[in-house]
Amino acid sequence: MKRIFFCLSVFISVAAFGQKAVPTDAHVKYGTGEDNWLNIYQAKSKTPTPVVVWAHANGQDVTADNFPAAVWKQLKDAGISVISWESVPRITKPEEIAIGEKDFMAVMAWLNNNHDKYNIDINKVIISGQSRGSIVSFAGANKLSDKIKGAYFAQALPNMAWKVRDFTKDVNKNSPKIALAYADAPGSTDGHTPDNGIKIEDKYKKLKISDRFTLYHSLGKTGLYNHLPEFVKEATNN
């Protein structure tokens, strides 16, 4: 287990963080639903690349098209591809979480069938997402721990989601290597408090798998993904 404190370290400017990455393949269908589409950001490589499967946060007009350009540049430079996927655009009620979790599994099935086409190494998959994205991906990441290398969630599992379910129940002895990254410090009154990540940390400790857990906090909103490239490299090199 690693709990890491960083003062606000801005490697990505606010302006750059707000820009959207341009996908190499846009609005590819992975299912039959209207919102069952994804974008692919393909890193150039002569060999199959690791991939980050990312789900966006809630927000007005926020969709899978909103993968940050600055984060994509970091990953692309490291030879890591990205899939940004859409489902229920905003989670506002419990039944929408279930739809999102079902769609996550459909995305993973699509990836299993199409990874060769996009030069992706199916044995080097990292699950990621922010806020809403962590909610719809967390259970599936734990269920598919034998098929993925790890999970990296930003502003993970916000307060409102815990009113619907106890996410510690998804954690099991086979749960993946995971990093949870937060803008604020523990004790924050923001709905995205790291205290929710500490609940997951405590479950990892209880199961004696805390060596697979890392908590980053006090990163500021522009620093949430600073550690994603190194996490992907470390997790996929094992």
Question: Do residues 149 and 124 lie in contact, with contact meaning Cβ atoms separated by under 8 Å?
Answer: yes
First CA to last CA distance, the chain: 17
Query: CA 18, CA 90: separation in Å to the nearest integer?
Result: 19
Residue 60 pLDDT: 83
The DSSP 8-state label assigned to residue 61 in this structure reads T
Which distant-in-sequence residues (6+ apart) come within 8 Å of 80 by Cβ?
A: 43, 49, 50, 51, 52, 229, 232
Number of structural domains found in the chain: 1
**Region of 151 on the Ramachandran plot (φ > 0 left; ψ -120 to 50 alpha; else beta):** beta
Mean pLDDT by 10 residues, the chain (238 residues): 37 49 98 97 98 96 96 98 98 96 98 98 98 98 98 98 96 98 98 98 98 98 97 93
Instruction: Give me the phi and psi of 110, to 5 degrees please.
Output: -60, -45
What pLDDT, on the 0 to 100 scale, is given for residue 21? Answer: 98
Q: How far apart are CA 215 and CA 1, in angstroms?
A: 8
Cα-only R_g, the chain: 16
Domain containing 73 — which CATH number? 3.40.50.1820
**Is the sign of the CA dihedral 76, 175, 143, 154 positive or negative?**
negative
Nearest Cα residue to 9 out of 227, 220, 228, 229: 220
pLDDT on residue 12: 30
Confidence (pLDDT) at 7:
30
CB 59, CB 72: distance < 8 Å = no
Look up the domain containing 161 and give its range.
Answer: 2-236
CA dist 56 and 133 (Å) reads 5
In sequence order, the 6+-apart residues with CB closer than 8 A to the CB of 167 are 138, 139, 157, 161, 199, 200
User: What is the bridge-based pairing of β-strands 25-29 and 37-41?
Assistant: antiparallel
